[in-house]
Amino acid sequence: MRDAAMFTHDAAATSVVDTGMSDAGVSQTAWIECTCQQIRVGGRRPASGVQSVRGQGVAAWLTETAQLEAASIDAFAELRDELRAHHAPRSLIQETHRAEADEVGHARWVGRLALRVGALPRRPNVVRGEPRSLVAIAQHNASEGCVREAYGALVALHQAHNASSPEVREGFLRIARDEARHALLSLELDDWMRTRVSANQVRQRDETRALAMLEVAENVGREDVATRTVLGLPDEERGRDLVRFVA
């Protein structure tokens, strides 16, 4: 495996397209493609879910994370349109639009890193369904926003302090700041939607959030030692500490 020097400037990074991904100039690698269940931080997933590349190692982590970041662009676009349909406050809609733009930058940057290690991230094909009810949006926001994005902000901050590469540390510091703002947006959305659903539906939302917390806790620290070192990822013990902080 290449060491942290693989993240120094590389001309190959200039071939990245607007989504942060490219089809050219990389070697062929065999991966298993399946529905993403293992927790890898990559922003809010769309309602329809996302297919992503799986595997171990730095290249696999960057590939999947780039694709998850790209999928989150669609997730925020979907959410923005649904909030408009439900006459949400203008401030929430504007913050959702800002988050969508943030995720474009995240996908580009992580995609560049993936290209440098010979990986080939592709933007996932996200199929948007019918606009969701406020109850469905609230449950999805509870898991994807109040849990995953909050945890993702903490992991990115951990990477900003612990990655072996200065470039990775700097990049994930920017992502940590954005994801922290997205997590705050999720909490504001949660507060607004709680006033518009029944008490029973609020309890269902709370159960969804609790299940998401368990899912994250059960999947932290799964990467190999070398990958954690290069990318600054938390081990299992530290990862569960971060989950408890989200709680």
What CA dihedral angle connects 141, 71, 37 and 163, to 10 degrees?
-100
Per-residue pLDDT at 28 exceeds 60: no
Across residues 167-179, what is the average pLDDT? Answer: 95
Does pLDDT of 154 surpass 70? yes
pTM of the model: 0.82
What is the rounded average pLDDT of the residues 45-70? 85
- Closest to 138 measured CA to CA, from 206, 214, 190, 99: 190
Q: Is the pLDDT of residue 24 over 60?
A: no
**pLDDT (tens digit, 9 = 90+) per residue, 59-77?**
999 999 999 999 999 999 9
Q: What are phi and psi of 196, to 5 degrees?
A: -120, 5
Which of 14-28, 36-50, 140-154, 211-225 has the least mean pLDDT?
14-28
pLDDT tens column, 193-202: 999 999 999 9
Predicted confidence band of residue 127 (pLDDT cuts 50, 70, 90): confident
**Residue 27 exposure: Cα atoms within 13 Å on the Cβ side:** 6
Q: What is the pLDDT of residue 52?
A: 59
Greater confidence (5 vs 14) lies with: 5
pLDDT tens column, 79-118: 999 999 999 999 999 999 999 999 999 999 999 999 999 9
- Amino acid 11: pLDDT: 30
Judge whether residue 2 has pLDDT over 60: no
Q: How confident is the model at residue 55 (pLDDT cuts 50, 70, 90)?
A: confident
3-state secondary structure labels for all residues of the chain: CCCHHHHCCCHHHHHCCCCCCCCCCCCCCCCEEEECCCCCCCCCCCCCCCEEEECCCHHHHHHHHHHHHHHHHHHHHHHHHHHHHCCCCHHHHHHHHHHHHHHHHHHHHHHHHHHHCCCCCCCCCCCCCCCCCHHHHHHHHHHHHHHHHHHHHHHHHHHHHHCCCHHHHHHHHHHHHHHHHHHHHHHHHHHHHHCCCCHHHHHHHHHHHHHHHHHHHHHCCCCCHHHHHHHCCCCHHHHHHHHHHHC
219 falls in which pLDDT band (50, 70, 90)? confident
Q: Which domains does the chain have, with CATH numbers?
A: 50-246 (1.20.1260)
The alpha-carbon radius of gyration of the chain (Å, integer) is 18
Q: What is the pLDDT of residues 179-193, one digit of tens each?
A: 999 999 999 999 999
The tally of CA atoms less than 13 A away on the side-chain side of residue 59 is 15
Give the CA distances from residue 28 to residues 25, 64, 71, 119, in Å, rounded to whole numbers and listed in that order: 10, 16, 23, 8
Rounded distance, CA 142 to CA 78, Å?
Answer: 16
